[in-house]
Amino acid sequence: MIMRVKIARASGFCMGVRRAVNIVLSASNKKNGKLFTFGPLIHNPQVLSLLKEKGIEIIDDPLKIPKKGRVVIRAHGVPPDVKEIIHRQGAQIIDATCPKVAKVHAIIKKEAERGRFIVIIGDPNHPEVKGLMGSAGKNVLAVDSFEKLSLIPTNEPITVVAQTTQNEEFFNQIQNEIKRKFSEVSVFNTICDSTHKRQREVKNLAKGVDAIVIVGGKNSANTRRLVEVAKETGVNAYHIESEKEIKEERLKNLSIVGVTAGASTPNWVISQVVEKLEKIKGRESSFFIWIKRFRNFLVKSNIFIAGAAGMLTFVSCFLQGFLFRLPFFFIAFGYIFSMHLINRLTDIDAIKFNDPARREFYERYGKVLIIFSLIVIVMILFFARFYLSFNPFLFLFAAVVIGLGYNFPFIPSSWVKKIGFSKIKEIPGSKTLFTAIGWGAIITFIPYLHYGGDFSIKQLSTFIVMFLVAFIRTATFDMRDIQGDLIVGKETFPIVLGEKRSKLLITMTILFLSIFLFLLSASSFIFPVHAIFFLAPIGYLALLVFASFSNPFWYTYSLEFFIDIAFYLMGFIALFLMF
Ligand code: SF4
């Protein structure tokens, strides 16, 4: 018997915190001046110790900032006069104030200039509220209790705003009371929708679980509010900072436990908590969990992704008009399996943050997996040599050398300083691009080289289709892995381009792929007309990709599994059309 774990969709970093963490990590990867954060970046001990390890210092006094230092203003923002002092100190300001907090500053400034008295419903000691008060000038009051309402001057027009993480019910009660007591009141509900959403979700989650575990810093205001909201529903709520604080005896023998996390909790901490919870003995039937574990094993071990690449060889043969042969499948399967595995094993530091469970798996079976990958490489070379003609063997051999060389330094050390990298892996954005090229080349050219003939527009178009589907897949996972990649200083596509532009690029790629496939098959000029059916799995892929944009916290291997299903569907359609 096991315990089921249900995770709230809006768990982990909110937009503002994610943006601030990304800004700090990007700045720390550029070594041009000592880096500080003005106050702790977020209220999360794991993230703070990580930043410390990276040499980023916390500074609280603007007058102590050294000249030429770089100072990151955290998501909470600061009063305008603090920015002014930092500027005068000669330091560079990197402003990571959350755009939503910046908007509240703008409202307050405008309203104060109109001569209105500003009431901020929030904790006067919270850094965000302190910053907001700085934008208001003198006529301002932070209100965190009904008693404080007596301090509001009765003869002035009043503007009410909220601390962005304020409890919705408290805000409504206070603003109603202000409206009742004073005549000229305008109210701006500036509570962030991320906070609304989290609090609403906790209430809903509480209805279907036996207990809720809330993950986040003990001094994180929004995490503590989530605990309050959960407790108000009557469900047992436990506030923990990491998986080490889970008390097994309290949760043992429950059926379902809910998990949510504050806006400053990184995904890898949530993943570790969920991993540990799933191991606790519960009251649920274990059948579905075994299926889920089997699915996770297929994804973690790279067997599922390799199968997806294998299935695309059916599509490749169909588009190029070749007779399918089983070695094509095995070669694509083996190549993608071994290359992904070897590259991931050499990239274990980033996996620690992007996917702690996968790291545990690799650490446990790493040696066996490496040996297995090497055996697989030998086997596919054997297949290519003895079951196909000589050219695919040569091509595969070159692809294996390039794939293995991806992680090895090949640039002479005297050049490294000039060009900035020693391995292909270190070229910014190379992972996304090289992975897509690797998929496209193996899936398209192994069948083509086996059958020979003139290289035509058909081969090029098939390569483009395979390249694009692999690009969409890799770029989507790179988006998900931004946090871990930034921590270890990797420069993937989304890190080079930024999140917004990467989302746009992925969206445009999906659009281009759909139009390209439609035109080339509908005209039946290059692809067979039935290739139009592939648009259905591509549409399914697009839906998943867009869903992952709006919910960056897809726990475990669901996203990977469901995205790869799109390639299996394409393969089955091709199989059906061919036979
Ligand atoms: S909770 Fe909302 S306002 Fe606060 S940092 Fe996050 S996104 Fe910005």
Query: Mean pLDDT: which of 149-158, 235-244, 514-523, 563-572 is highest?
Result: 563-572
CB 446 within 8 A of CB 389: no
User: According to the model, what pLDDT value does residue 556 have?
Assistant: 57
- Whether 379 has a pLDDT exceeding 60, the answer reads yes
Q: At what angle do helices 558-578 and 535-550 cross, to 10 degrees?
A: 170
331 vs 279, more confident: 331
Confidence of residue 562 (pLDDT cuts 50, 70, 90): very high
Confidence of residue 264 (pLDDT cuts 50, 70, 90): confident
- Whether 418 has a pLDDT exceeding 70, the answer reads no
User: According to the model, what pLDDT value does residue 62 have?
Assistant: 86
Say how far apart CA 119 and CA 175 lie, in whole Å: 10
Say how far apart CA 252 and CA 246 lie, in whole Å: 11
350 vs 558, more confident: 558
Nearest atom (ligand 1) to Cα of 195: 1
User: According to the model, what pLDDT value does residue 298 have?
Assistant: 92
Q: Diameter of the chain by CA atoms? A: 93
Query: Mean pLDDT: which of 39-43, 223-227, 403-407 is highest?
Result: 223-227
Is there a single domain that holds both residue 468 and residue 364?
A: yes
User: According to the model, what pLDDT value does residue 410 have?
Assistant: 65
Buried b (16+ CB within 10 A) or exposed e, 188-215: eebbbebbeebbebbeebbeebbbbbbb
User: According to the model, what pLDDT value does residue 547 have?
Assistant: 87
Is there a single domain that holds both residue 559 and residue 424?
A: yes
Is there a single domain that holds both residue 290 and residue 326?
A: no
In this structure, the residue with its CA closest to atom 7 of ligand 1 is 16
User: According to the model, what pLDDT value does residue 563 have?
Assistant: 94
In this structure, the residue with its CA closest to atom 2 of ligand 1 is 192
If DSSP states are collapsed to H, E and C, what string results for 540-559?
A: HHHHHHHHHHHCCCCCCCHH
Confidence of residue 27 (pLDDT cuts 50, 70, 90): confident
**Residue in this structure with the two tokens 């059948």, named with its chain if needed:** 287
Say how far apart CA 226 and CA 165 lie, in whole Å: 10
The Å distance, Cα 131 to ligand 1 centre, comes to: 14
Strands in 424-567 per DSSP E? none
The Å distance, Cα 496 to ligand 1 centre, comes to: 24
Tokens, residue 73: 């203003």
Boundary (domain end) residue, out of 162, 193, 224: 193
User: According to the model, what pLDDT value does residue 314 have?
Assistant: 97
Residue-wise pLDDT for 108-148, tens only, equals 999 999 999 999 999 999 999 999 999 998 899 999 999 99
- For a pLDDT cut of 90, what percent of the chain falls above it? 53
Tokens, residue 457: 């527009």
User: Which residues have C-beta atoms less than 6 Å from ligand 1?
Assistant: 14-17, 75, 98, 100-101, 164-165, 192, 194-195, 263
User: According to the model, what pLDDT value does residue 335 have?
Assistant: 96
The Å distance, Cα 103 to ligand 1 centre, comes to: 11
Say which CATH number the domain at 542 has: 1.10.600
Confidence of residue 554 (pLDDT cuts 50, 70, 90): low
Say how far apart CA 369 and CA 365 lie, in whole Å: 6
Residues 78-102, mean pLDDT to the nearest whole number: 92
Nearest atom (ligand 1) to Cα of 192: 2
In this structure, the residue with its CA closest to atom 6 of ligand 1 is 16
128 is catalytic: yes
User: According to the model, what pLDDT value does residue 268 have?
Assistant: 81
Task: For 237, list phi and psi in degrees, rounded to 5.
Answer: -120, 135
- Whether 278 has a pLDDT exceeding 90, the answer reads no
The Å distance, Cα 334 to ligand 1 centre, comes to: 45
Task: For 215, list phi and psi in degrees, rounded to 5.
Answer: -100, 130
Tokens, residue 170: 């408290």
User: According to the model, what pLDDT value does residue 313 have?
Assistant: 97
Buried b (16+ CB within 10 A) or exposed e, 323-342: ebbebbbbbbbbbbbbbbbb
Tokens, residue 518: 């439609």
272 vs 449, more confident: 449
User: Residue 519 is part of which domain span?
Assistant: 295-578
Residues 6+ apart with CB under 8 A from 2: 278, 281, 282, 284, 286, 289
Is there a single domain that holds both residue 404 and residue 364?
A: yes
Boundary (domain end) residue, out of 44, 64, 98: 98
Is there a single domain that holds both residue 300 and residue 173?
A: no
Boundary (domain end) residue, out of 193, 217, 232: 193
Residues 256-268, mean pLDDT to the nearest whole number: 88
CB 129 within 8 A of CB 163: yes
Residue-wise pLDDT for 481-526, tens only, equals 887 777 776 778 888 888 889 999 999 999 999 999 999 998 877 8
**Residue in this structure with the two tokens 């060889």, named with its chain if needed:** 313
> How many domains would you assign to the chain?
4
Is there a single domain that holds both residue 163 and residue 87?
A: no
For ligand 1, pick from 19, 98, 129, 191 the residue to mutate: most ligand atoms within 8 Å of CB: 98
User: According to the model, what pLDDT value does residue 470 have?
Assistant: 96
Say which CATH number the domain at 206 has: 3.40.1010.20
Nearest atom (ligand 1) to Cα of 222: 1
Rg (CA), the chain: 27
Regarding beta strands 158-162 and 185-187, do their DSSP bridges make them parallel or antiparallel, or are they unpaired?
A: parallel
The Å distance, Cα 96 to ligand 1 centre, comes to: 11
Say how far apart CA 225 and CA 279 lie, in whole Å: 28
User: According to the model, what pLDDT value does residue 44 have?
Assistant: 82
Is there a single domain that holds both residue 229 and residue 181?
A: no
Start-to-end CA span in the chain (Å): 45
Is there a single domain that holds both residue 148 and residue 214?
A: no
User: According to the model, what pLDDT value does residue 269 have?
Assistant: 87
Say how far apart CA 286 and CA 75 lie, in whole Å: 43
Residues 248-254, mean pLDDT to the nearest whole number: 84
Give the helix/strand (H/E) hosting 290.
helix 287-300
Residue-wise pLDDT for 48-62, tens only, equals 888 888 889 999 888
- Whether 534 has a pLDDT exceeding 80, the answer reads yes
**Prediction ipTM score:** 0.99
User: According to the model, what pLDDT value does residue 551 have?
Assistant: 64
